[in-house]
Structure formats: C-alpha cells, structure tokens
C-alpha cells in the first residue's frame, strides 16, 4: 500500500496560477538480510522548468523549512529516503512536497505528504490483506513471511492477551501492541508485522482471539472490529495503519526502545527510548 498525493499550484502559499500538476507516491520497502528500511518517493509532474524539489515542514497554508532535498527535479523524480532521513520526521508535525521553477522560485506546485494515508485501502478486499504483503519491493514479501511465521509458530495463545491488553488505547497499557514479547523494544519480526498491516490496507480482530499471536489479522473486515485497536492505529483510529503511524513504529525500532508515557502529550501515548 503506497501513499498517493496530488500537487497543485493552489496549495502553494500564496497560491500560484499554473496549469502544472503533480502526483507523489511514497512506498515503504524493507530489504533483507541487511534489514534496511527505506521510503521510495516517486513524483511525476508537468512543471515546465523545474529548479528544485523537496519535502518541507509545515501544515497546509503555512510555509516552513526544507527537510529533505529530493535531488534532480526533472520528472519523474525518484528518491529513496534512508533510515537516517526518516528519523528527521517528528510525530505530530505536518510536511509537504514543493517543486520550484524558474517562473515561480518560491514554489509552483505543492502537496501534503501522505494526505490520503488514513483513508487509503478502506475499499480493498479482505482477501488481499490475508496475503503477506504482496511484493512491495525486493525482500519485503520474504521478510513479512518470516515475521509472521515466527509469531504464529511459537505458541499462539501466548501473545494473545498482550494484543488485547497492550493496545488499551493510546498508551494506557504498559506495552505497545507491536511489542509481543513485552521487552520495551520493537524487534525486526514485530516491525514486519506492522508493515504487513500497512501493506494489506488494514487489519481486524482475530477470531478466535488466539488464532494469531498478536490477536489481529491483516486486511479489512468491518465485521471483526470489536477488540481493542492496535496501538499503532491512533491518528485517526480507523483500522488502517497509515504511513505516519508506520513511521512511528519504525522510530521505536531504530531507537532500540520505547516506553509508555501517557502524561507527556504524545499522540500515541508512548515515548522513544527507555524509562528511567
């Protein structure tokens, strides 16, 4: 499941009268055995004389600083964001794509990064979700299969109580739903499981609950949404894991740890690092 966004002149601040448009697609890819996770960005646009293209900090209607220069602005723009660059993204902050041109040096077209992430995939069938992350990149399908196999083969009832208790709504539980062994770390197989939900366009409750180790099943199924939602599903809570929500779990994975901090104002109720 990719994040698909439209760029136009009316989103530039102030708006620009131009016929140019663009489309940006961001896709997560995990490469094994090195465990390198990147976000591949591809932008196709019709700007006549592009000068620069980048990702900036800022909400709609606001201008902000450049976060990542995406290189050659000629269409199609193709750029792979590394884990180091992904770490620059801050929870709760909004970002936008901006393409400048010789005619419009302050920006000719602009678009919100992952504006459609929350709604994407809601119409996709459950059957697609049951597969293991249908081939989003070299090694990704392989990695997701590995992660799920490990989880389901190790005594399935063991992790089930965790799935329901930990996700007790935005940080109320001591452990994150993805942290199946409750060690305040997100390991590779646990990260792969969340990536699987992302690639499947959603998730739902396992029936019976101990049918899977974490209590969830990939894919949309509105008839099975009566359990506690996954702790990664919070902005908004809609039984879909968006790109920004996935990036939050990746942040825990990269940092080597996390802890519950419901009183510290984070959107998901968790903080990066280890409790003191």
CA distance 99 to 170: 36
C-alpha span between 159 and 172 (Å, rounded)? 18
Q: Cβ contacts of residue 264 below 8 Å, gap of 6+?
A: 271
Q: What is the model's pLDDT at position 196?
A: 86
Residues in the chain: 276
Residues in CB range of 263: below 8 A, 6 or more apart: none
pLDDT category, 114, cuts 50, 70, 90? confident
Share of the chain above pLDDT 70, in %: 75
- Widest CA span of the chain, in angstroms? 63
Residue 48 has pLDDT above 80, yes or no: yes
- Rounded CA-CA distance 66/56 in Å is 4
Residue 44 has pLDDT above 90, yes or no: yes
pLDDT at residue 142 greater than cutoff 80: no
DSSP helix/strand/coil, 40: strand
Residue 220: Cβ-neighbour burial (10 angstroms; 0-12, 13-18, 19+) = buried
- Average pLDDT on 268-272 reads 95
Answer yes or no: is pLDDT of 78 > 60.
yes
Query: Residue 79: beta bridge partners?
Result: 41
Domain boundaries, the chain: 3-112, 126-272
């Amino acid at each position: 499941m990719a994040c698909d966004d439209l760029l136009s002149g009316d989103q530039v601040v102030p708006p620009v009268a131009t016929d140019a448009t663009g489309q940006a697609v961001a896709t997560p890819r995990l490469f094994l055995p090195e465990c390198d996770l990147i976000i591949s960005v591809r932008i196709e646009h019709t700007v006549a004389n592009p000068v620069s293209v980048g990702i900036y900090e800022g909400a709609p209607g606001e201008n902000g600083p450049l976060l990542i220069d995406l290189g050659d602005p000629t269409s199609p723009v193709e750029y792979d964001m590394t884990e180091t660059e992904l770490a620059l993204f801050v929870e709760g902050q909004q970002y936008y794509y901006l393409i400048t041109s010789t005619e419009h040096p302050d920006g000719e077209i602009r678009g919100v990064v992952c504006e459609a992430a929350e709604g994407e995939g809601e119409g996709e069938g459950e059957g697609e979700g049951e597969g293991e992350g249908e081939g989003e990149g070299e090694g990704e399908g392989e990695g997701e299969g590995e992660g799920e196999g490990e989880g389901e083969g190790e005594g399935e009832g063991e992790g089930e109580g965790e799935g329901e208790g930990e996700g007790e709504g935005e940080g109320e539980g001591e452990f994150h739903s993805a942290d199946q062994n409750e060690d305040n770390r997100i390991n590779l197989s646990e990260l792969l499981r969340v990536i699987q939900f992302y690639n499947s366009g959603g998730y739902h409750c396992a029936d019976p609950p101990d049918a899977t180790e974490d209590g969830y099943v990939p894919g949309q199924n509105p008839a099975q949404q009566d359990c506690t939602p996954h702790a990664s599903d919070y902005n908004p809570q809609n039984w879909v894991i968006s790109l920004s929500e996935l990036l939050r779990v990746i942040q825990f994975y990269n940092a080597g740890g996390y802890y519950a901090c419901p009183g510290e104002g984070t959107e998901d109720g968790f903080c990066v690092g280890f409790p003191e």
